[in-house]
Amino acid sequence: MYAWITTISAWTIPFMIAFIPLYAAFKKVPVYESFLEGAKDGFGTAINIIPHLVGMMVAISMFRASGAMDLMIGLIRPLFDQLGIPSEVLPLGLLRPLTGAGSLAFTTELIKTYGPDSMIGRIASTIQGSTDTTLYVLTVYFGAVGIRRSRYALKVGLFSDLVGFLAAIFICLYIFG
């Protein structure tokens, strides 16, 4: 069974890469021209979202450089310690909604320091897979389609990140603890 799944996994993407242009040619769709048109539209979208990305990066840098993140971590750390939750994963919960690259780098450092099979490594990996870069998603996708009012989406996204963060911690502590 495992070999069968591995074989399917290995051939899915090459199959799709071959199938899509062949199907388009069969349907008499101008494949190359359609690709160029899509690339042209994508370039315009990329240009339109640059201001949103720059604004988000500046805000994240200010948040971290001002010490606000360290202050928040310092306030929450005693509660984590009392509950028996490794407080080393706390910065990941604050970084993950802000930046994918930053949270991945932090997760990598936790895994290098504590090991992938440690409780901290397992929790960090589970948090990484259970949460999303909410502010990045809102900035890029909402900015690309011109949505200006993202108040409710922001609340729901951040709440989902909080639930994913806490669920990852408690599930790992329950399963591996």
- The DSSP secondary structure of 70-85, one letter per residue, reads HHHHHHHHHHHHHHT-
Residue 131 has which token pair? 């949460």
Q: pLDDT digits over 112-155, tens only?
A: 999 999 999 999 999 999 999 998 888 888 877 878 788 899 89
Is 35's pLDDT higher than 90? Answer: no
| Global pTM value | 0.69
pLDDT for the residue numbered 1:
67
